[in-house]
Chains A and B, each alone.
Chain A
Amino acid sequence: MSNAFIRAMAQQDYRELPPFNVGDTVRIFQRIKEGNKERTQKFEGIVIQKRGDGLNKTFTVRKIGANGIGVEKIYPYHLPAIEKVEVVKKGKVRRAKLYYIRKIVGVVKIKEKRQKSQ
């Protein structure tokens, strides 16, 4: 739910990530604390959904992990622990949610968006 008062209260928490869309391949750098140590975890995969608005906005990244097991992570868009997001590839897709790729066995092929030549 978004509302002028709620937005006023939470304005300072809003973050600006590089623009990416569903179908893009992204690399997420997240700070993770283990005991006293802090390290950066990298996670690279395809964005399969974006949902919510305001501080409740989240996106899901899917990759094929070890032994061919699919791994999905749901990231809150405004999470301060996200150090940075790199867009590796721009994908060309015709769905807002790519749930169908969960059923695909093997390599998921997503057409790459052609860059506008300048």
Chain B
Amino acid sequence: MSGLLGKKIGMTRIYKGNESVPVTVIQAGPCFVCQKKVKAIDGYDAIQIGFEEKKERSTIKPMKGHFKKANVRPMRYLREIRVDNPDDYQLGQELNLGLFELGQKVDVIGITKGRGTTGVMKRWNFSGGEASHGSKFHREAGSTGQHTYPGRTFPGKKMAGRYGNERVTVHNLEIVRIDVENNLIALRGAVPGAPGGLIMLRKAVRVNLKKAK
């Protein structure tokens, strides 16, 4: 299984006849293989890929050596992707959107927008209480447990707190349009994070095998 790193550009829509298809435009790749992890040494098989060039002078010395080994320019983002056989890839090899094709399903991994401290209604979709009619119970959480027995609130109880800024995978987004030359791809639906956020694309892992046949 191979993947790509990219940046969310934003959303728009594409028309198909009378239908309007909501799409997210992502600028993905080109990525370069920076390191190979093999089972014998690292305990697992993976490749490390880099995305988006950065300046030589803003790269620290140890990293310069790391990139030099793979004979690639310094990269801003490095991520590992598990592969079955790292020997299928060469150090410094370029990966681009050629991995994917139109109509295929892909998974997108990203970091959602950070929302800071939020209440339970936004964070856990609690229904809250009435806004008016003399109600004094508006957006609170309600009861957090029972009485003397167990006499405590169970761990994991859904409460208010920090929400967002977490890794989320969106499965099976259809590729509506792909432009390998300009490294642009349009996927049906929404993708986690704000425009400009780092995003990882991979071939869909949860494929409906019955449908595929």
Is chain B found bound to chain A in the same assembly? yes
Is there a chain B Cβ closer than 8 Å to A107's Cβ?
A: no
Asked if A78 contacts B15 (CB within 8 A), the reply is yes
- Contact residues of A with B, CB < 8 Å? 1, 3, 5-6, 8-10, 13, 30-33, 54-56, 76, 78-81
Asked if B14 contacts A33 (CB within 8 A), the reply is no
What is the CB-to-nearest-CB distance from A106 to chain B, in angstroms, rounded to a whole number? 33
What is the CB-to-nearest-CB distance from B19 to chain A, in angstroms, rounded to a whole number? 9
- Contact residues of B with A, CB < 8 Å? 9-18, 20, 25, 27, 177, 179, 182, 184, 186, 195
**Residue in A1, A32, A80 whose beta carbon sits within 8 Å of that of B15 in the complex:** A80
**Residue in B12, B15, B16, B20 whose beta carbon sits within 8 Å of that of A6 in the complex:** B12
Asked if A55 contacts B13 (CB within 8 A), the reply is yes
**Residue in B15, B184, B195 whose beta carbon sits within 8 Å of that of A9 in the complex:** B184
Report how far A78 CA is from B15 CA in the complex, Å.
Answer: 8
Known: A33-B18, A76-B20, A80-B17. A10 touches B12 (CB 8 A): yes
Interface of A is mostly: mixed
Instruction: Select from chain A the residue with minimum beta-carbon distance to B184.
Output: A9
Asked if B12 contacts A5 (CB within 8 A), the reply is no
- Which 10 A-B pairs give the minimum distances between C-beta atoms? A81-B18, A5-B9, A1-B10, A6-B12, A9-B25, A6-B25, A9-B184, A55-B12, A80-B15, A55-B13
- Of listed B10, B14, B16, B18, residue having the most chain A CB within 10 A: B18
Given A1-B10, A8-B179, A76-B13, 10 extra CB contacts under 8 A: A1-B195, A3-B10, A5-B184, A9-B25, A10-B14, A31-B17, A33-B18, A78-B15, A79-B20, A81-B15
Asked if A5 contacts B15 (CB within 8 A), the reply is no
Asked if A9 contacts B186 (CB within 8 A), the reply is yes
Asked if B10 contacts A6 (CB within 8 A), the reply is yes
Please, which residues of chain A bring their CB within 8 A of the CB of B9? 3, 5-6
Report how far A10 CA is from B20 CA in the complex, Å.
Answer: 13
- Of listed A9, A10, A13, A81, residue having the most chain B CB within 10 A: A9
What is the CB-to-nearest-CB distance from B194 to chain A, in angstroms, rounded to a whole number? 12
Report how far A80 CA is from B184 CA in the complex, Å.
Answer: 23
Please, which residues of chain B bring their CB within 8 A of the CB of A76? 13, 15, 20
